[in-house]
Amino acid sequence: MNPTMSPVIEVRGLTVEFNGVPAVKLVDLNISKGHIVGIVGESGSGKSTLASALIGLLPDSARITSGQIFFDDRENTPATPEIFSELRGHFISMVSQDTLSALNPVLTIGQHLIDIQFRESISLEEKRQRSIAALESVHMPDPEARMSMYPHELSGGQKQRVSIAMAVMVKPKILIADEPTTALDATLEVEIIALLKQLQKKIGCAMVFVTHHLGVVASLCDDVVVMHQGSIQEVGNVRDVFLKPKNDYTKKLLKCDPARIEKKCRQLPTMDAPNQKRVEDETAKTKRLSGDQAPILQIENLTVKFPKPFGLAALFQKAISKDITAVNNVSLNLFAGETLAIVGESGSGKTTLIRSIIRLVSCQTGTISFFGKSILDQSRDDLESTRKEIGYIFQDPIGSLSPRMTVEKIIKEALPSEVGNANDEAQEVQNLLSLVGLPIKFSSRYPHELSGGQARRVCVARALAQNPKLLIADEPTAGLDVSIQGEILNLLAEIQDKIRLPILIVTHNLNVVRHISDRMVIMLMGEVVEEGATDDIFSKPVHEYTRRLLNSNIHALPE
């Protein structure tokens, strides 16, 4: 980094171990005054552990086995727990990853803000005024009223604003932000990042920004640190690293990010095949999509309402009429061989919509037909056989696998009954596992012994075991590193090419949608606001909300 500037914080040869397994290995790092440094890496790269070490708040199970951390304030004295606790809250502060749990549920917002000014010897009223000013600085609406509210009365975005207000109010020299926007919707993410950048300029602190999102690094940071398996792979100016990466790992990581691939790809690059970028040719595409005119899945005017929960109050006042409408008058079609993406932010009703297709959620009005047969008025037996024909991949990969069954049993349960004897079934399970790229030995594992990516593959294998005529996937790549994300998506595309499987995919990840879907539907508060071919919507969005959504999709190239 810039050698002329003195670092606010300097890390020398830091190694952190968890039960003897190193999570951070011999890391050297200097962070200069007023710089924003992004730390990127996949899950398990040690980036969060490094951030916790910087503020001296490692979990109890972690041990620092070598190395020292120096602060600008205490020159030539390596930080001790005493120094850390003295510096925390005015020299160094932090914004947490988990917005929902970062604030104490039984204290008001005002109490949080006033508490952290315990070092200041000013009157309580002055502390209150400062707190209100801090809330104003993060653009919190009606800050005075918010002071007496409890965390559960705020939305996720508002909670994150309070966390930022707290971190900035103490005017730190260095601010640590550990994935501060991961839990937020895309449009909100853009606002929060802009806010952080603005406040960082205002108080002139250095900032360490931990993220797995390359786009955020490109748009926010001055410098970038790339981590892999606990060690630093590459350090440098964001432009230099992103445009001319030197390290092999960095190169692969950058190549795998779908946001950085301009052309629409049928097969995305993976860590094993970083140069793979197969674009589908027109003949293949026509072959995949053309043919039958009748849609395989047809939804018309579907409305889903949830009744308000029953309480004692309902006995006295007949206030049951206030239903919550989750899906409002939605119609859509899905044809053979095509991928339809349903895009929307949390609470837009997209998951409810796809669950109502197989009647996991019951709907009030509308029709759903599958191969021309209505699903909604099927008997229990017919419904069960329809469900057998529809593969469904749930959002939470580990949570959707029965915890006390082995992978083999889980997949066997999905096999159609005509497969036959135990031998054939076992053979089939093996075939499926190898199809999704898992070694045979995984068949005897339990769900909690799988990583997120492995569990996701098992979910895909189970859905394929059904021999489905339609595949529904709810956020199939959420929480996955870009490399694994590519592998899962490539696998789905391959199968679709082979058997012209129609796929309905729900996601909020626009970079993924752009590559894999033929058509897309955009949902907002239970309603479809825009529908059309993916390419058209990305080039000429019509609805105002669509435009806002597309603008929030941060591109992974430095400005």
Partner 1 sequence: MIIYTIKRVLLALLIMACAVSTMFVMIHAVPGDPANVMLGPRATPEIKEALRARLHLDQPLSTQLFYFFKGLISGNFGFDLRSNRPVLDIVLEQLPHTFILVSSALIVSTLGIPVGCYAAINRNGKFDRIVGAISVSIIAMPAIVVGLYLLLFFSVELRAFPVIGAGDSDDWLDYLWHLTLPVITISIAWIGYISRLVRASMIEVLSQNHVLMARAFGLPEARVMSRYALRIAVLPSITMMGVSVAFILSSTVITEIIFARPGLGSLLYESVLSRNYPLVMGTVLVSTIFIVGGTTIADLINAALDPRALKEND
Partner 2 sequence: MALDQKKEAQNFSDGLSSAVIYRLVKDPMGLVGLLIVVSFVVIAIFADFFAPYDPSKLDILNKLQGPSADHLFGTDQLGRDTLSRLIHGTQIALMVAGVSIGLAVLIGSILGAIAGYGPNWLDFVIMLLFDMVRSYPVIMFALAVVVLFGPSLLTIMAIIVATSFPTYGRLMRTQTQSLRQAEYILSARALGLGMPRILVRHVIPNTIGPILIVASMDVPFVIALEAGLSFLGLGVRPPTPSWGSILNDGYTYIRNSKWILISAGIPLILVTIGFTFLGEQLRDIFDPKIDRGS
Give the residues lining the site for partner 2 (CB under 8 A).
309-310, 312, 355, 358, 360, 383-388, 390, 392, 394-396, 399-406, 408-409, 413-414, 422-423, 425-427, 443-444, 446, 459, 462, 466
94 binds, among partner 1, partner 2, none (CB under 5 to 8 A by kind): partner 1
The crossing angle, in degrees rounded to 10, of helices 452-465 and 407-414 is 30
Q: For partner 2, give the closer residue by CB, 320 or 533.
A: 320
402 binds, among partner 2, partner 1, none (CB under 5 to 8 A by kind): partner 2
Radius of gyration of the chain (CA): 26
> Which two structure tokens, joined as six digits, stand for 110?
């005002």
Cα distances from 364 to residues 301, 304, 319, 373, in angstroms, run 10, 5, 19, 18
Q: Which stretch binds partner 1 (CB under 8 A): 13-21, 93-101, 209-217, 352-360?
A: 93-101
Q: By CB under 8 A, tell whether 88 contacts partner 1.
A: yes
| Binding residue (CB under 8 A) for partner 1 from 8, 94, 109, 493 | 94
Q: Contact 150/512 with Cβ under 8 angstroms?
A: no
| Binding residue (CB under 8 A) for partner 1 from 20, 123, 275, 312 | 312
CA dihedral 383, 384, 388, 389 (to 10 degrees): -20
Nearest of 423, 463, 457, 425 to residue 442 by alpha carbon: 457
Q: Contact 28/7 with Cβ under 8 angstroms?
A: no
Rounded to whole angstroms, the Cα distance separating 343 from 513 reads 8
Name residues contacting partner 1, limited to 95-154 (CB under 8 A).
96, 98, 101-107, 115-116, 118-119, 150, 152
Helix (H, G, I), strand (E, B) or coil at 71: strand
Q: How far is the CB of 357 from partner 2 (least distance, A)?
A: 10
Q: For partner 1, give the closer residue by CB, 118 or 498.
A: 118
427 binds, among partner 1, partner 2, none (CB under 5 to 8 A by kind): partner 2
360 binds, among partner 2, partner 1, none (CB under 5 to 8 A by kind): partner 2
Q: For partner 1, give the closer residue by CB, 83 or 510.
A: 83
Q: How far is the CB of 338 from partner 2 (least distance, A)?
A: 21
Helix (H, G, I), strand (E, B) or coil at 514: helix
Rounded to whole angstroms, the Cα distance separating 341 from 510 reads 10
Question: By rule CB under 8 A, what string of x and - marks binding of each residue 145-184 to partner 1?
Answer: -----x-x----------x--x---x--------------
Q: For partner 1, give the closer residue by CB, 307 or 420.
A: 307
The CA-based angle 405-407-410, given to 5 degrees, is 65
Q: By CB under 8 A, tell whether 10 contacts partner 1.
A: no
96 binds, among partner 1, partner 2, none (CB under 5 to 8 A by kind): partner 1
Q: For partner 2, give the closer residue by CB, 77 or 444.
A: 444
Q: How far is the CB of 155 from partner 2 (least distance, A)?
A: 22
> Which two structure tokens, joined as six digits, stand for 166?
């707290």
Rounded to whole angstroms, the Cα distance separating 119 from 510 reads 45
b/e map 81-107, b = 16+ CB within 10 Å: eebbebbbbbbbbbbbbebeebbeeee
395 binds, among partner 1, partner 2, none (CB under 5 to 8 A by kind): partner 2
355 binds, among partner 1, partner 2, none (CB under 5 to 8 A by kind): partner 2
Q: By CB under 8 A, tell whether 41 contacts partner 1.
A: no
Contacts (Cβ under 8 Å, ≥6 apart) of 12? 28, 67, 68, 69, 70
What are φ and ψ of residue 462, in 5° steps?
A: -65, -45
Residues in contact with partner 1 by the rule CB under 8 A: 55, 57, 85-90, 93-94, 96, 98, 101-107, 115-116, 118-119, 150, 152, 163, 166, 170, 311-313
